[in-house]
Structures are given as C-alpha cells and as structure tokens.
Amino acid sequence: MHEIELKFLVPEARLEDLIRQAKVKSSQDIHMAAHYFDTPKQTLAKAGIGLRIRKEGDTWVQTIKAGGDGIAARLEHNAGLDNEQVQAMLDNDSLTPDLSIYKETLIAPILADFKLKQLTKVLTRQYVTNVQRTTRLLEDGSKDDGSENNNGIEMAYDSGEIIHGNDDSQRQAIQEIEFELVSGDLEFLFATAKTWCKRYKLCLSTVTKAERGGLLIKGQDYSPAVKADLQLLNVNKDSSMPAFIRTNVHNCLLQILPNSSAIVAGSEDNGHILQLHIGLHRLTVALDTFNKFSEQLNPEWQPILEQTAALLGDYRELAYLVSHIEPALEQHGAPSVDWTADVKQIKVTPINAVRANDFQLTLLELIAFTMSDASTESQADKLAIDKLAKILSKKHMKLLKVEQNFDDWNYDNSDCDDWGCDDLETDSSKIVNLRNDDSNHSCSIGSILQKTHSHLKDLCYISEFAAPLYAKKKSKRWFKNLAKAQKSLGQYYDHLQYQQRYQQKAATDANALYGAGWFTVTLKNDYKRCQKDLNRIQDNAAFW
C-alpha cells in the first residue's frame, strides 16, 4: 500500500504547547524500538529502500519502504512477525529480516534486481531508533449535507533518539511530528497539517529516520545538497496543460524540499543555500511562465517564494565572499579585510527565512497542488505541447533583444570605476523586478548584464521543462550552448557583485582596494568570454 504522510520538525519554543495538544485523553502512547538493516555498502539506501524490524508495543513488525513521489507518498509493506522467534534472535544477537515474504507483494518489483538469498546473508544492523510515540486520530466531523465523513488522519509525535548500531555512544535526538492519511481525502490531510503548522510554526522535513540513521553511521549531520534532477521530470507529448505544470512544480520541489529540510535542521552549508536558491528560481519561472496552464495556481505563492529567494541570495553572496573569496585573495597577497560588521548587518539568516511560517505554508500548498487531480480541470483536454512553441519563441526573442545591448556596449571605452552603478540590483531581487523589463534604454554594463543573465536563465529553465516533449537529438546542442553561456554570465555577474562589494568597502577600509582592483582586471576577461558564448546562442537552432 502507499503511505501518504507529512513530516515536520518542531521548534523548541512551541514544543510544550504542541505536546499538550498531542497528549489528550483519546491519545495513545507506545514505545517503539526499531532495528534498521542494510549491507555494509549501503546497497538498499542507495536504491531508496528502508528495511526495519520494529517492536510496536508488544508486537514485532517487519517494514519495508521504497519508491513513492519523493515528497509525501511512499510504497510501504508491513508484516507481523512471531514474537518468540524475534526474541530468540535478539538473545543470540542474530536478528535478521526475512525477505522471502515480499515475493508475492507489491514490493516485489522494487527488489527484482536483488538476489534475495545473497542479500539476506550480508544484511547487518546499521542503527537502532528508540522512540516514545504519542498517536492521536484526527477525524472530520461530518459533511455539509449531514452525512458521515470518513476523513481520518493519524497524528504521531515522536520523541527519542537514533543509536549507532556498533557504537551506542553515538546518538542523535529525534523530535518530530507526522500526519498520515488513514482514510478519506487528501484535502483533509493538507488542511489539518496547515492548521497545526500555523499554530505551532512547524517546519516541513523530508528526512526520514532511515536517512538520519544512515547519516549517523557516516558521521554526517546532513545529506549533501540536492541539485535539479531532470531525469525525474516525467512529462510526455500527451501531457495536458494542468498535468504539465504539476509535473514541473513537483520536479522543482524535489530540489527545494531536501535543501530546505537541511537548513531548517540547522545546516549553514553554502551548497544547501545555493541549491535551494536555484530551486526557488526554477519554481518561480515555472509559475510565472505557465501561469495559465492551471486554474488552481495561487497567485500568492510567487511573492513569498521570490522574497525567500531574495533573502537567501543576499546572505549567500556575502557568506561566500567571506568563506571563499577573501581567503583566495589573501593567498595571492591581498591584505586582510574584516567583513564581520557586514555579516552582522544581515538581519534574516537562511534558517530564519526558511522557517518563516508563510514560506512553510506555501510549500505545503505546493505539495498539495502537485498531488491534486489534473484531470478535473477545465483545460485537462488541452495539450501542453500546443502552447510551448509560442512561449519558447517569445522568451528566445526577449533574450536576443537584451543580448544586443550587451554586444553594443563598448567595454574598452567604459570607465570601470563606474561599474558599481546605483541601478545594479542583487541577483535575488532581479527575480522580482526584471522578468518583464525589456526596455532598450542606455544603461550601465551592470544593468545590461543583469537583464541578459536573467533572461538567459529563464530561457534555460523553460527549455528544460519543455525538452522532454521534443526530440532529444535536437535539444542537445541547444542546451550545450545555453549552459556554457549561463555559466560564463553567472561567473561574470558574481565577479561584478564582488567588485562592487570591495569597492564600497574601500570607503571605510583601504585594504579592500586590492580586491576591487583584482576583480576589475578579472572582469575584462569575463566580458570577452561572455560575448563569445552569447554569440553562439544567436546562431542556436531552436529545438521546438
């Protein structure tokens, strides 16, 4: 069967109130000790499979989880075990799962690539979870017509720890709440989760106990940053407009949710921040470009997503400058520049931005949107491919138009000291301000570069969303040239931002003049590289 659940981390400040709401008269407390198994090389984990034997009250249950949509739904199979046999294996320290029970189940295809007898021989206990679970059934009273309603959700609050299988001194605390749909409609699941999310400021997490256990035995706090995976973009020529936009949003969430989960759990890693920022940009481009593909798109989503991206971008730029750019310059002989005061001036850190309740609620609504039925919409009979050629051509023309300004700008006759112009906005704020700005007025290289980079990224993301509906051979060269230009423009834009940072800093710290001069020289080579890569795009044959 498919398990559909939403998992949240609970902020410490709201924990006491939440526990009072969870532990009501009708709630039940149960102690659960789970043993998780895998091969020494983490074969099952790499295949997205979790395997455990867990004591639930007085009963031992073997559970396997796999597949699903990567967000809220997973394939799950539970099998009751003989308590005496399990206890005997525990006494002999020989507890081992029985994989033969899956031969005639829905899980069988997931294990088809494994030789079960050989796999069983190499399975070892990797880690143990020791959890006190409080469960409560949340039900919808009745429908508007007075008839009975079968909507039911199991709320489960877990408090405990994960323990290393071979070293019980290595432990990690567990404190999370889950909402699992037991019966009824998905709408009730999401409505209930939103109510609790608002009340207790909960934060979505896609990190399973199995994943956390795997990190514990590796000595890691967080999983690596997740990039966009276009192999998981499941669209075809027969995709309707509502189905197409849902698939694109889902693909963006597969990048957004793992990275946001790491950040709300405490990660300050630049990789998580960067990939979340990129994922949000991809999503805002999809929502903006395909806004007429579904009548269920909420116009309130985009401003919240853009604001979060802007906050992440502001922080990431300065944090990367401090952690990477400044040390690199010092290695080349630059005097040290103290950025401590600048960092302290940033009022909203990534963890604050991602934990913000409006952002978390928006993520919930987006997940609900991807899981809703596209066939019920009025445009379900209209094919996405019939609209895409016009959209792609329009975006392509916008890029070529703004690119002409880049080609016409004369680098050699410019005053490099004026590059940090007043109208140069941050990379993140351009998402909000420049998408529809196609003015052809004379402006600085900063503004021209900003617009060119913005239109190029938009076209690249839209092309990625649409490409699966067209011949792969035709799109190969298109993406090669786009990717090269996007990389060179991105580097150029970043260097321009850093040059401006050091130039502004030099007003109060003369040591920053070295960095300003360094990037001024670097930018000249960046400009020539960008011109070369952009010229290739002008001759790029459209794949649509």
Half-sphere CA count of 121, side-chain side, radius 13 A: 4
User: What is d(CA 210, CA 52) in angstroms, rounded to the nearest whole number?
Assistant: 9
Handedness of CA 209, 213, 219, 225 (dihedral sign): negative
Q: Are 505 and 337 in contact (CB under 8 A)?
A: yes
Per-residue pLDDT tens digits for 364-409:
999 999 999 999 999 999 999 999 999 999 999 999 888 887 777 6
Residue 141: per-residue pLDDT = 66
**Residue bearing tokens 């138009």:** 401
Angle at 39 between CA 35 and CA 45, to 5 degrees: 80
Beta bridge partners of residue 74, listed in sequence order: 3
Whole-model pTM: value is 0.89
How far apart CA 144 and CA 438 sit, in angstroms, is: 50
Q: Which residue has the tokens 């481009």?
A: 285
pLDDT, averaged in runs of 10, over the chain (544 residues) = 88 93 93 94 90 93 86 88 94 92 87 90 94 94 59 95 92 95 94 97 95 93 96 93 98 98 96 97 98 97 97 93 95 95 91 97 98 96 96 93 77 45 32 34 66 92 95 87 91 92 95 95 90 85 89
How many whole angstroms separate alpha carbon 519 and alpha carbon 417? 11
The residue written with tokens 């294996």 in the block is 89
How many residues does the structure list for the chain? 544
- As given in the structure block, the two tokens for residue 20 are 């009072």
* Helix (H/G/I), strand (E/B), else coil: 290: coil
In this structure, the number of other CB atoms found within 10 A of the CB of residue 48 comes to 14
Q: Which of 53, 67, 61 is nearest to 106 (CA)?
A: 67
Nearest to 365 by CA among 312, 438, 296: 296
Three-class secondary structure of residue 265 per DSSP: coil
What are the structure tokens assigned to 223, written together? 């999983």
pLDDT at 417: 42
SS (H, E, C) 420-471: CCCCCCCCCCHHHHCCCCCCCCCCCHHHHHHHHHHHHHHHHHHHHHHHHHCC
- Residue 415: predicted pLDDT: 47
CA–CA distances in Å: residue 377 to residues 68, 167, 243, 251, 300: 24, 54, 10, 21, 20
Both tokens assigned to 367: 């997940």
DSSP 490-533: HHHHHHHHHHHHHHHHTTT-TTHHHHHHHHHHHHHHHHHHHHHH
